[in-house]
Amino acid sequence: MQLYDTLTRGKQELPPAPGPVRMYTCGPTVYQRIHIGNARPFVISMWLRRWLAERGYDVTLVENITDVNDKIYDAAPGQSAALAAQAAQWYLEDTERLGLGRPDHEPKATETIPEIVGLIEELVRGGFAYEAGGDVYFRVARFPDYGRLSGQRLDQLEDDEDPSQLKEDPRDFALWKATKEGEDTAWDSPWGRGRPGWHIECSAMAEKFLGPTFEIHLGGLDLVFPHHENERAQSQAAGREFAQLWMHNGMLEFVGEKMSKSVGNVASLHDVLERWGRETILVYFLTGHWSKPVDFSEDTMEAARARVESFREVFRGASEPAREGEWERLVAALDDDFNTPEALALMHGWRDHDLLRRALDIFGLASLAEEQEAPSEIVKLAKRRQEARAARDWDEADRLRAEIEAAGWEARDAAEGFQLVPR
RNA sequence: GGCGCCGUGGCCGAGUGGCUAGGCAGAGGCCUGCAAAGCCUCGUACACCAGUUCGAUUCUGGUCGGCGCCUCCA
């Protein structure tokens, strides 16, 4: 099993199965409903977990919920805790509807404060961090490997505009921030009341549930710098090996532009679920390689919807024996950097119901194999139509077909009888 | 300015040093009372310019274009 690794900029081999694969995925900062782009790392993580399990690994997946953060304070001044709780609930509900199950652990930053404080204390003790005015900062200059993950050179970073005098070095970043007026959440620490900085919570949560080293760290490409660079610096400075392999999923683009709140072109996962349904969303994500950007548009979603229908058609037809080596080809595609577009192309050629259902199930799409039963009144109309056809009363048959169609179903003439398909 | 990803037929999107990707859309045909679905056939694509090579869409260099990130910001 090979996966593309950001750190080494090449495919890395996973240890051979069987064995443990510990995965950590950067989940959402909860201050609003997540958008369809935020759903991608969740979907990829769940799929990869299922695939690795299929391949004989013992997988543990942790996906955090960051529920204390500047963005949350900004979004709900004085009431950030309530907003975070609400948005976390939305996140759980929306991702639940994808029908992929849940990660093994979904810790919240606010439930990991003791571990966060402990990790910061270690860093201070080791000289990798320093307290300044109730804040604690990471001393970037003390960690020579800083910048390796993102390929950033320290001397080339843009100048920090922040006139704050607290930092020794403008490149240093906050591990702990003293509580400020208007912030409604704060915890005691050796440096006074305050709350975690942005990156430290992931280092603490990963270690709490996975230990000092783990096989895979996953997250959006936009998190490479500074978020993951900083996570890595903190944990490694504290003596942990941390992640062995870094996966960064590509962004969703909306007419050639990244989907993001600041551009105002977001589509919430909730809304997209309402509009297109879970199966179309999952097939849509299947069409692009996880590491590459994908276009999100009416056209790309419509094409995904058509693929969904085409799989359903296969199950409406007769099962045919698979050709030699079909499953092995799927395995080869997925074992090579989890190439789902290739896997999807292979599946489109399959007519063996059992094999296809098994493959689709990896991606949470076994439901495509389920027959969709028409309500009895529709079946009655179809039977009347069948009788009209037997009597060669084509006008009546066409009228009934229109009636069935108006009710949302399509009447198809079959060799014997008829078939009803939802429109 | 720095780091990185990418540019494939109408659209989306894999992949490969010479051998059919796949899907959507489109054209023709078979089937059908008419349809739908299905099946068959059809598009000689790989930004541009050099170079390496017997041969490059695939390797190397450059050009142009798009996108992400460059410390609290998505």
The whole-angstrom separation of Cα A229 and Cα A145 is 10
> Which position has the higher pLDDT, A259 or A147?
A147
Q: Which nucleotide is nearest to A6 (CA to C1')?
A: B4
Calculate what percentage of chain A has a pLDDT beyond 90.
Answer: 70
**Strand B bases contacted by the protein (CB, 7 Å):** 1-6, 11-15, 21-25, 32-38, 66-74
A386-420 pLDDT per residue, tens: 999 999 999 999 999 999 999 999 999 987 789 99
The whole-angstrom separation of Cα A297 and Cα A131 is 48
A303 CA to B43 C1', in Å? Answer: 19
In what helix (H) or strand (E) does residue A408 lie, and over which residues does it extend? none
Sign of CA dihedral A347, A348, A352, A358: positive
Tell me the sheet residues that pair with A228: none
Q: What is the pLDDT, as a whole number, of residue A39?
A: 93
- A371 pLDDT above the threshold of 90: no
A314 CA to B38 C1', in Å? Answer: 10
A303 CA to B27 C1', in Å? Answer: 20
- A163 pLDDT above the threshold of 70: no
Q: Which nucleotide is nearest to A162 (CA to C1')?
A: B71
Residue nearest to nucleotide B36 (CA to C1'): A412
The whole-angstrom separation of Cα A257 and Cα A156 is 26
Chain mean position to CA A200: 21
Residue with the two structure tokens 């039977």: A383
For A335, the 3-state DSSP assignment is helix
Alpha helix locations (H) across A97-199?
A: 113-125
A50-89 pLDDT per residue, tens: 999 999 999 999 999 999 988 899 888 889 999 999 999 9
Q: Which nucleotide is nearest to A293 (CA to C1')?
A: B67
The whole-angstrom separation of Cα A293 and Cα A198 is 25
Q: Which two tokens stand for residue A395?
A: 């006008």
Q: What is the pLDDT, as a whole number, of residue A256?
A: 46
Q: What is the pLDDT, as a whole number, of residue A258?
A: 52
> So where are chain A's domains?
2-254, 277-369, 376-422
Amino acid at A356: L
ipTM of predicted complex = 0.91
Average pLDDT of the residues of chain A: 90
Q: Which two tokens stand for residue A340?
A: 């789902």
Q: Which nucleotide is nearest to A31 (CA to C1')?
A: B74
Q: Which nucleotide is nearest to A351 (CA to C1')?
A: B38
Residue nearest to nucleotide B24 (CA to C1'): A303
As its CATH architecture, domain A277-369 has Up-down Bundle (1.20)
Query: Any idea what DSSP says for residue A140?
Result: G
A134-148 pLDDT per residue, tens: 999 999 989 988 888
Mean pLDDT, range A276-305, rounded to an integer:
91
- A263 pLDDT above the threshold of 50: no
- A160 pLDDT above the threshold of 70: no
The whole-angstrom separation of Cα A79 and Cα A239 is 37
Has domain A2-254 been given CATH number 3.40.50.620?
yes
Pairing of strands A19-25, A10-13: unpaired
Residue nearest to nucleotide B15 (CA to C1'): A342
Q: What is the pLDDT, as a whole number, of residue A267?
A: 84
Q: Which two tokens stand for residue A231?
A: 């996570």
